[in-house]
Structure 1
Amino acid sequence: MRQFAELCFEIEQAKQPAKKIAALAQYMTNAPDADRLWAVALYSGNRPKRSVTSLQLRTWAAEHAGIPAWLFDESHSIAGDLAETSALILPQPAEQTDGTLAGWIETIRAMGEMDEACKKGSTLNAWDQMDRRARFVFNKLITGSFRLSVSQKLLPQALSSLTGMDAAVLAHRLAGKWTPEDATFSSLFTAANPVADFSRPVPFAFIGDLECGPEELGDPSDWVAEHRWDGVRAQAIFQDRALILWSDYEEIITGRFPELVTLRDCVAPGTVLDGTLLCWADGSLLPRAMLDKRMAAKSATTKLLHTAPTFFEVFDVLKAGGDDLQSHVLENRRGKLEEIMQSVPTVAPLRISRRLDFEDWPGLAVHHGHARNVGADGLTLKRRVSRYKDGGWLQWKVAPLLVDAVLLYAQFRNGRSSGRVFEFTLGVWDGPELVPVAKVDSGLMVAEIDRISAWVRDNTRERFGPVHSVNPHQVFEVAFDSIQENGRRKSGIVLKNPRALRWQQDQSVEQSGTLADLKALITD
């Protein structure tokens, strides 16, 4: 357990991905098989169920430390983390032991079946055998709050450096259904598994930003343009009547979109498609929030499948029948893609991207101006002779929408940066009332953050923990990408990607935006 706690500390402190990978690989090299298998499970999100509540942890820690509850709460507000606060205030252990991670996991799982008195006894007994770092990890595990501190693509890279296997193959094995109880480290990561070995994705072609006017790109006939949708970019790999979906974050997401698995019956094995996952219903694009729900769920429920049906809009083919097409020019790849799509039923959740018609750059600018009206974030421009490996693609985003909004709530940080606000809730006028429409990071320089933090403390009306309700006197200019209806919010709307641009210190609250103005921006 001490070794795993040290690993968690090293990963938390490391800034560069290479250092995190090295720390993981070092741990995997030295730890027993059962411990490193549980470490992989924990960093893959497979943690034991909560056996102790936050209130129980707070109460037991304060009692064991011999301090009043108010002093524990004040310490918690400074440290900012319940598990860390508890680990720091506890007395020195009676006798440190170095039990295995797997052994302590079994103890934690057994605690789930105990009554409160037995849970407390097991917790105090564990604390008396651990140093502070091990206690911190133990507290996280028993309260179910152990969270990932490495991205999903770093763990396969660390395992790759240990086993010598391809990281993509290891990522596929990690994505399967397994538990530390029914697998061994060797069977999962070092044994031959040909089913997993075909799933290597192709490195995604880079799409840069258009930083000049399109007229500077030369002859418009050398380019094609498509709408840029706010979806999840993915590659679909077809092989041996199986489909593997990879996101551009190098994560396998097949299980979250089971309705797409049927595509394996209409696309030939050895094919790799590049495209965008989108939620679509009743002939229109659904809000990105619906797709985010699909991505957040490890597996799709019946309700999600009904409320957020998904399809895959494909815009490129990288392999066909096992032949690598990456070195072919775009127009040749497009011809092959159209050929593949001829065998796909029209009712299948797969469609080919539509190219926009334009003869000159002013004509393309018209499409760009209408992009938001059809739910797009802008346009993607591709040079006709570009090869997939070389990129040559550009995204021409629409300009953000703007609104002046009033500061209603401010949240202060915990921990080392306590005393400074970092998040604002902003509102607009709905008749005589201000209604919240966005929660944003402050986006201010340090000097401005210090000034607004002092102002918030002097103008607080009510306090809810770190959140302060303030007098409505400060105005911020807010940028956002789009706006959609949302009946679950008081305002009836949701802003996509809101961010504070500047503090409008010279503007009166009465001149701020209105809810009617925002709703007028909603497009069907």
Structure 2
Amino acid sequence: MKKFADLIRKLDSTTKTTLKVKALTNYLENATNEDRVWTIAILSHRRPPRPVNTTLLRQWASELSNIPLWLFEESYHIVGDLAETIALVIPNSTGKSDKSLTKFLSEMIALKKEDDDFKKKYVTDNWRKLNYYERFVFTKLITGGFRIGVSQKLMTRALSKATGIDEDILAYKLMGKWDPNTISFEDLVLKENASDFLSKPYPFYLAYGLEGDVSNLGSVDDWSVEHKWDGIRSQVIIRDNEVFVWTRGEELVTDKYPEFHPFADQIQNGTVLDGEILPFPKNEIGTFKDLQTRIGRKTVSKALLEKTPVILKVYDLLEWKGKDLRQRSFVERRAILKDFINNINAKDLPIYLSKIVNCNSWSEVAAERNRARDMRSEGLMIKRKNSTYQVGRKKGDWWKWKTDPLTIDAVLTYAMRGHGRRSNLFTDYTFALWNDSGEELVTFAKAYSGLTDAEFRKVDAWIKKNTLERFGPVRSVSPKLVFEIAFEGIAKSTRHKSGYATRFPRILRWRHDKKIEDANSLEDLEMLIPM
């Protein structure tokens, strides 16, 4: 545990990716195989079930530190992280522990079935024995909320450096169902399997957001234009009569989309398709809200498959008949892709070609962009016709030209403190709009980004002077400030008090020029929903 806690300290003390990879690589080279497996599990979100609820942890920490619970709660709201608060308030350790990370985690798994008295003694005894960072890590593991600014991709990169195994192969090895409590490092990482290479995806090519006037790209004849679909970017791989579905986030999600399983029997082996998974209720493209009913589900019921089926909207072909096509031009790849789609249309598969929009001028391109919301897309993709399929985000050949965000003027009604460097400021806001009668403000969205640091400080000072009530970490404030809120989409929702759900809400600007009477209404919000 000491070595793992020291690793977390190093990771937590820098924002530089190179330093994080170096620290993690060094740890993985020197840790025991058992601790390696658990470290991989923790950093790829495979933590054991939480054995103790946070209410009890707060009570026990308050007692052990000999401070009133209300003061602990206030401290927690200021710090913004429960494990860090506990690590800070518990008295300095009087003993030490030489138990390994694996030993601690096996004890935590067994702890879940014990009674509260046993749990209290176990937790408090360990708090007394561990130093600050060990105590912090121990509590993070107990709570199950282990987020330390290390992505699975970064962890995979470090593991690749430590073992010499290709990152893409490791990404596949670490996907799927495996139990860190039973699997060995040899079986998980070192053992070579032919299937590791069978499912290997290609690195995704990512576009840059278009800056400035679109005509700055030069002649429109050099570019290909299509819609930017609002779904889940994915690669669908058909090799050796098997299908593998990867998301851009390097998650293998084959089992979550059974609609694509027939591809194995009806699409030629050695095919890799790049496209977007889209919801397709009633045989038309749905909203991202529809797709969210499928995301995160461990199992997909027959009823859900019927209510929210999905399709693959394909816009590129990376491998064909087992040959890598990425160095061919975009128009060459598209020509092969178009023939491929035409040949399988009769097979009634849920796969559609993302059509090229024929535009003879940039003004026609702009007009097509204005149709994006009617098409259920986010805007346009503009790709150089002679471009190869590159790796990662490269500037110059692929651009995304998203639609302007929807905006509405809303009233600040509630606030919470932020996290990290903003933990001492009220920066997480709740906004409201007028109801149809114009007599009541109804909550409709939360946002915590968009203002400058100076503006956040000014709003924070105002909130502290204009608080009406306190509800734990939440403060209700006098409804006086108006902000312009931007968001990417809107849909009706029975889960929200307002009756509407917005996508990616953020603050566009503080409307010093408006009074709350000038704020918009729920009726105005409904007018923004695409027909």
TM tier relative to shorter chain: over 0.9
User: For residue 377 of structure 2, what is the aligned residue in structure 1?
Assistant: 376
Pick aligned residue for 1:486 from 475, 480, 493:
493
Is 1:64 the equivalent of 2:64? yes
User: For residue 418 of structure 2, what is the aligned residue in structure 1?
Assistant: 413
User: For residue 394 of structure 1, what is the aligned residue in structure 2?
Assistant: 399
CA contact (8 A) 1:279 1:285 kept: yes
Give the TM-score normalised by structure 1. 0.94
Which range moves more in the overlay, 413-422 or 502-511? 413-422
Cα deviation per residue 1:435-481 (whole Å; 9 max; x = unaligned)? 12221115222332222112112211111122211111111112222
Q: 1:64 to 1:306 in 2, by over 3 A?
A: farther
Deviation at 1:350, TM superposition (A): 1.5
CA contact (8 A) 1:319 1:326 kept: yes
Aligned-partner Cα distance in 1 for 2:340–2:120? 62
User: For residue 132 of structure 2, what is the aligned residue in structure 1?
Assistant: 132
- Aligned residue for 1:153, secondary structure, equals helix
Which range moves more in the overlay, 44-53 or 215-224? 215-224
CA contact (8 A) 2:372 2:403 kept: yes
Q: 1:124 to 1:421 in 2, by over 3 A?
A: closer
User: For residue 122 of structure 1, what is the aligned residue in structure 2?
Assistant: 122
Unmatched tracts of structure 1, length 5 or more: none
Q: 1:357 to 1:110 in 2, by over 3 A?
A: same
Residues 117-196 of structure 1: pairs in structure 2 closer than 5 A:
117-147=117-147, 149-196=149-196
Aligned-partner Cα distance in 1 for 2:123–2:59? 12
CA contact (8 A) 1:263 1:349 kept: no
Pick aligned residue for 2:503 from 486, 492, 496:
496
Cα RMSD (Å): 2.2
Deviation at 1:415, TM superposition (A): 6.6
Deviation at 1:136, TM superposition (A): 1.6
Deviation at 1:184, TM superposition (A): 0.8
Q: 1:33 to 1:216 in 2, by over 3 A?
A: closer
AA aligned opposite 1:75: S
Residues 279-290 of structure 1: pairs in structure 2 closer than 5 A:
279-290=279-290
Aligned-partner Cα distance in 2 for 1:166–1:418? 39
Cα deviation per residue 1:126-157 (whole Å; 9 max; x = unaligned)? 22332221122222222333346311211211
User: For residue 505 of structure 1, what is the aligned residue in structure 2?
Assistant: 512
Number of aligned positions between the proteins: 524
Cα deviation per residue 1:27-60 (whole Å; 9 max; x = unaligned)? 1111111111111111111111111111211222
Aligned-partner Cα distance in 1 for 2:269–2:49? 40
Q: 1:297 to 1:151 in 2, by over 3 A?
A: farther
Residues 117-516 of structure 1: pairs in structure 2 closer than 5 A:
117-147=117-147, 149-297=149-297, 300=300, 304-341=304-341, 342-343=343-344, 345=346, 347-389=348-390, 392-413=397-418, 417-430=422-435, 431=437, 432-516=439-523
Q: 1:328 to 1:96 in 2, by over 3 A?
A: same
CA contact (8 A) 2:198 2:240 kept: no
Aligned-partner Cα distance in 1 for 2:424–2:220? 54
Deviation at 1:321, TM superposition (A): 0.9
CA contact (8 A) 1:442 1:449 kept: no
Cα deviation per residue 1:271-301 (whole Å; 9 max; x = unaligned)? 1111111112113333213434534345545
AA aligned opposite 1:23: A
- Aligned residue for 1:388, secondary structure, equals coil
AA aligned opposite 2:508: L
Give the TM-score normalised by structure 2. 0.92
- Aligned residue for 1:491, secondary structure, equals coil
- Aligned residue for 2:491, secondary structure, equals strand
Aligned-partner Cα distance in 2 for 1:155–1:128? 31
AA aligned opposite 1:343: I
Aligned-partner Cα distance in 1 for 2:11–2:424? 27
CA contact (8 A) 1:378 1:396 kept: yes
Aligned-partner Cα distance in 2 for 1:144–1:223? 48
Aligned-partner Cα distance in 2 for 1:441–1:281? 33
CA contact (8 A) 1:79 1:416 kept: no
CA contact (8 A) 1:330 1:388 kept: yes
Unmatched tracts of structure 2, length 5 or more: none
Deviation at 1:354, TM superposition (A): 1.7
Deviation at 1:6, TM superposition (A): 1.4
- Aligned residue for 1:382, secondary structure, equals strand
Which range moves more in the overlay, 55-64 or 216-225? 216-225
Aligned-partner Cα distance in 1 for 2:154–2:301? 28
CA contact (8 A) 2:78 2:424 kept: no
CA contact (8 A) 2:77 2:417 kept: no
User: For residue 50 of structure 2, what is the aligned residue in structure 1?
Assistant: 50
- Aligned residue for 1:488, secondary structure, equals coil
Aligned-partner Cα distance in 1 for 2:410–2:261? 45
Q: 1:291 to 1:151 in 2, by over 3 A?
A: farther
Aligned-partner Cα distance in 1 for 2:429–2:472? 15
Cα deviation per residue 1:312-337 (whole Å; 9 max; x = unaligned)? 11111011011121122222211211
- Aligned residue for 1:294, secondary structure, equals coil
Aligned-partner Cα distance in 2 for 1:475–1:196? 54
Q: 1:44 to 1:323 in 2, by over 3 A?
A: same
Is 1:111 the equivalent of 2:116? no
Q: 1:73 to 1:401 in 2, by over 3 A?
A: closer
Which range moves more in the overlay, 247-256 or 166-175? 247-256
- Aligned residue for 2:59, secondary structure, equals helix
Deviation at 1:306, TM superposition (A): 4.5
